[in-house]
Structure 1
Amino acid sequence: MNIFNAWFFRKPHRRQGFFLLPFLLSLLFFLTFSSLAPSVSQAKPSRVDTLLDRGEISEAIAMVETGWKKDYQNFYRHKYEQPIQQTEAIAQKLLDIARETGENPAVIWAFSRPEDLVILLITPGNEPISFTIAEADSEELDIMATTFRREVANPRRVNGFAYRRASQQLYQWLIAPIKPILESQQIDTLLFCVGENLRSLPFAALHDGEQFLIEKYSLATIPAFSLTETTYTDIRNARVLAMGASEFQEQIPLPGVEVELSAIVPELWPGSAFLNQNFTIANLQAERQQDPVQIIHLATHAEFKSGAPDRSYIQFSDRQLSLDRLEELGWKDPPVELLVLSACQTALGDRDAELGFAGLAVQAGVKTAIASLWSVSDIGTLALMSEFYQQLRTAPIKTEALRQAQLAMIRGDIRLEGATLVNSGGAIELPSDLPFARVNLAHPYYWSAFVAIGSPW
């Protein structure tokens, strides 16, 4: 009798285990498959996918806008009353803005799926167009976006080009497919309405192998077109409320803030300035009631962190104001056209931080916000901000003023000469306590961190 037969012809209760083996294997297979069921169901085409497959691009854009509006409402725990704009209305609004400002805008929606990258485009007065880029699946896109952010935001790499490979690849995926349309229609302003892991991308530093994206277009990041204030107001004669702090009890000092504020008010713009202990929420509210300025500049620490919006904040001299309480400042009445935060730090690539950053303008109740994705040096911030307010005096729209300031840094028109910062407006003497070692201000680390959020107009 062989070993198998000896085992098989043992006592009956032993043989029962043998007959139970197929049942147990089947049960194990069933339980394993059941545990995978949620993933299988999640892999089913979404409604947006179905609409795109049918060629119903307008309906797909409306669905994307609806979904992202819900994302921001859930994150900020706030209901936004703005209705979803249909694509015909978006195309007409872009056409109206182009006629009013002389600037020719387009809206780009971009989001990744497991199998590809989807790009949706509307230009003034035209039907929407869709593109899919199969080689940019969600995994590849996430890797490239993370690499790009890490390299361009690294202050130890400001004398090299380590960011270029990822920058050029992202350009090929996000911009190259639509470039012929943008050029044929002479588009000069791009509004990026993008999905997760793209919201903290410094689009200005995307590179085509010859030049940066900002060298051809002025740029804005929007949470959704339906959440963006699209009316145009000329602010070239507006007044500015400039506030900030150079000293903090629990955070690193910002020694360039005093020079930054004085370079804006009253050097370039009429208005008022508050520094250090006078930089309080109470003073901001009182000043707004007395003088309803259209531009508010805050030179202070601000952080966009992972987690709920009450963990992210703007630092005043007396306390921190969390993002979920921004609306309490009443910046909608009278309306604030532009809010500038010149010393932000964002958790790059984090979903919550991205929602907080990209939703800053709509949550604060301002038309446009300008903030930084990472904390730039005092010299870099002063260089960008002093030139931005110089350009804002004459630029037709806000994002063009930001673009011209960034171009001035790329070209070397803004530079350090000893203890003097030279820009298009002249020279700014730097205080002795501000480190002014020679820096390469043309590197995108110094200028691409600054992003226009909300309306470019």
Structure 2
Amino acid sequence: MKVFRRILLFLVTVGLLIGLYSPLSGWAAAKVTPRPNPQELKQALDRNDISKAIRLVETGWKQQYEDYYQGRLTSQLLEVDTIARTLDRLARETGKRSALFYMIPTPTALELILVSPGAAPIHRRISAANRTVLLQVMQEFRLGVVNRESDPGDYLPAARQLYDWMIAPLESELKAQRIDHLMFCLGAGLRSAPLAALYDGRQFLIEKYSLGIIPAFNLLDRRAAKLAGTQILAMGASEFKNQAPLPAVPMELSAITGNLWQGKSLLNQEFTLANLKAQRAATPFGIIHLATHAEFLPGEAHESYIQFWDSQLRLDQVKFLSLRVPAVQLLVLSACRTALGDPRAELGFAGFAVQSGAQAAIASLWSVSDAGTLVLMSELYRHLRTSPIKAEALRQAQIDLLRKRVNLKTSVAMQARGVRLPSELEGFATSDLSHPYYWAAFTVIGNPW
């Protein structure tokens, strides 16, 4: 594995030299404007004017998402004291204390800002983690985590270094505030980070907090979800004309609607955009689950898509799903992938929930194995029935895999009546799913409550 690690470092170095992973060159190539202005942000933080710094970040990143999606995203600009009061209200309503964590990579430092329920904001500047160094370590981390054959030594050193830069400087405040959930608002290059697999030397971050990412706090639907009594529309395809098959999808849909949640499932030829709209018109499904290929790609929004049976829904068309009325509280994409580290692809991924109209989305940063996805999705819906917030349900599902509590053979998916394991998955029945590859890809996007 030392050879593998040297290869990773070589690839990262080459990538940096030719500009593949540098956010400055990425912005230039992909026309992503570096907002907020780093100098203006630094001046505000040097004066300890954290409120102004947050306004700069919120408005700057909102403009980035508007540029990418080619449309105006309506929002009311909340001042930091209002954000803190909102977090306090949600803590009382849900029983979970959420903190808002801004991470802004700049040429000279990583700027961290923490907003906690009912508390004054706190700023930390990590000069050792300038943009170039930070993203080099981040890419090494990603490359180790996404390879299911890698050893812990291939990703834990980078995971520990990132934890020391990104979490540790404010961890005493998180403990003092009794924070349960971290809501990350991230700058370019960090929006596709598998944050769940950051490591403090003893535990992964997901073992300590539930997690989620947001494009900006002001773009959130800030109402606590009420999933009890909602129905699910689970749709997907197991075979495709021009893409790899997903043989576990029939079992995934059957498990979700058979014994985990009340609702309806539609497979293959029934999995069309027209059918989704027709089903929504007939029944106000509160959860939409799409088990299909989806790609968040470099370039413009129209180049990314969700695959239906007979067509591709481009990312710039997702808003036409009209998931706001009636309200969809959770949209799940169980087999999507993102071009990790690409600034444009990251905007598509992190802004997906807002663009779709759903309160929140759960999606994956890379295509996890069919068996791993089936197990995690089954555990997710099992925990959604009892967890106080959506992000905690995902956390518990991830921990089930991480701590080897479940595999395909023992999964709740295998308990559904009449379900038989596809022949393609028989070799994975007892596979160990504890590697971060299987669980760290999945992320709550948008409203975590």
Say if 1:383 and 1:421, in contact at 8 Å, map to a contact too: no
| Residue 207 to residue 308, structure 1, CA distance change in 2 (3 Å) | same
Match of 1:278 among 270, 274, 285: 270
SS in 2 for 1:243: strand
Q: Does 1:174 align with 2:205?
A: no
Distance 1:431 1:123 in 2: 47
- 1:413 corresponds, among 405, 410, 413, to 405
Matched, 1:79 2:72: yes
Corresponding letter in the other structure for 2:363: A
How many angstroms apart in 1 are the aligned matches of 2:148 and 2:390? 27
Q: Deviations over 1:150-182 (max 9, x none)?
A: 11011332x544110110000000000000000
Structure 1 residue 364 corresponds to structure 2 residue 353? no
Q: Which residue of 1 aligns with 2:309?
A: 317
User: Structure 1 residues 233, 209: CA separation in 2 closer, same or farther (over 3 Å shift)?
Assistant: same
Query: 1:234 touches 1:396 (CA, 8 Å); kept in 2?
Result: no
Question: Which residue of the other structure, out of 377, 393, 400, is the alignment partner of 1:401?
Answer: 393
Q: Which amino acid aligns with 1:110?
A: M
3-state SS of paired residue (1:162): helix
Say whether the 8 Å CA contact 1:414–1:424 is kept in structure 2: no
The question of 1:96 aligning with 2:85 is answered: no
Corresponding residue to 1:436 among 427, 431, 436:
427
Deviations 1:234-271 (A, max 9, x none): 10221000000000000000000000000000321111
Which AA in structure 2 matches 1:430? Answer: L
Q: What's 1:185 paired with? A: 177
TM-score (norm 2): 0.89
Tell me by how many angstroms 1:112 deviates.
1.1
Measure, in 2, the Cα distance between the counterparts of 1:424 and 1:105: 31
Looking at structure 2, the residues matched to 45 and 283 of structure 1 have their Cα atoms a distance apart, in angstroms, of 47
Aligned residue number for residue 383 of structure 1? 375
Q: Distance in 2 between matches of 1:171 and 1:411?
A: 20
Q: For residue 256 of structure 1, what is the aligned residue in structure 2? A: 248
User: Equivalents in 2 of 1:223, 1:390: separation in Å?
Assistant: 28
1:198 and 2:198 aligned: no
Higher alpha-carbon deviation: 78-87 or 369-378: 78-87
**Within 5 Å, which residues of 2 pair with 1:124-203?**
124-157=117-150, 160-203=152-195
Deviation at 1:369, TM superposition (A): 0.2
Q: Deviations over 1:102-144 (max 9, x none)?
A: 0000000001111111000100001111000111011110101
> After superposition, what is the alpha-carbon deviation per residue over 1:358-389, rounded to whole angstroms, capped at 9, x for unaligned?
00000101110000000000010001000000
> Does the residue aligned with 2:424 lie in a helix, a strand or coil?
coil
Task: Measure the CA separation in 1 of the matches of 2:400 and 2:420.
Answer: 19
Higher normalized contact order (CA 8 Å, seq sep 6+, divided by chain length):
2
CA–CA distance in 1 between the matches of 2:403 and 2:414?
A: 16
264-273 vs 212-221, which deviates more?
264-273
Kindly provide the amino acid, as one letter, of the partner of residue 283 in structure 2. Answer: D
Aligned residues: 411
- Which residue matches 1:123? 116
CA-CA distance at 1:411 after TM superposition: 1.3
CA distance, structure 2, for counterparts of residue 183 and residue 429 of structure 1: 46
How many angstroms does 1:54 deviate by?
Answer: 0.9
How much has 1:430 moved relative to structure 2?
Answer: 1.8
Distance 1:110 1:387 in 2: 30
1:341 matched to 2:333: yes
CA contact under 8 A between 2:255 and 2:412: conserved in structure 1? no
Q: What's the offset of the Cα at 1:185?
A: 1.1
Deviation string 1:161-220 (CA, Å, 9 cap, x unpaired) is 411011000000000000000011110000000101100001111000100100010001
Name the SS of the counterpart of 1:267 in structure 2.
helix
Whole-Å Cα distance in 2 between the matches of residues 207 and 308 of structure 1? 34
**Match for 2:57 among 49, 61, 64?**
64
1:373 to 362, 365, 368: 365
Alpha-carbon RMSD across the aligned residues, in angstroms, is: 1.6
Extract unaligned runs of 5+ from structure 2. Answer: 1-34
Question: 1:422 and 2:415 equivalent?
Answer: no
Contact 1:236–1:392 (8 Å) recurs in 2: no
Equivalent AA in structure 2 for residue 74 of structure 1 = D
TM-score, length of structure 1 as denominator length: 0.88
Q: Which amino acid aligns with 1:155?
A: R
What is the identity, as a one-letter code, of the residue corresponding to 1:329?
L
Identical positions, percent: 51
Match in the other structure for 2:41: 48
Deviation at 1:431, TM superposition (A): 2.0
Q: In 2, are the aligned partners of 1:112 and 1:137 still within 8 Å (CA)? A: yes
With over 3 angstroms needed to count, the CA separation of the structure-2 counterparts of 1:313 and 1:456, relative to structure 1, is same
Structure 1 residue 84: Cα displacement: 1.6
Q: Distance in 2 between matches of 1:277 and 1:396?
A: 36
Structure 1 pair 103–45 and aligned structure 2 pair: CA distance change class (3 A): closer
> Per-residue displacement from partner, 1:387-428 (whole Å, max 9, x unpaired)?
000000111110000000011111111124xxx243599587
Q: Which amino acid aligns with 2:197?
A: A
- Structure 1: unaligned runs, 5 residues or longer: 1-41
CA contact (8 A) 1:374 1:449 kept: yes
Counterpart AA for 1:179: E
The 2-side partners of 1:263 and 1:113 are apart by: 45
CA contact (8 A) 1:112 1:138 kept: yes
Structure with max Cα Rg: 1
Relative to structure 1, the CA distance from residue 409 to residue 259 in structure 2 (aligned partners, 3 Å threshold; closer, same or farther) is same
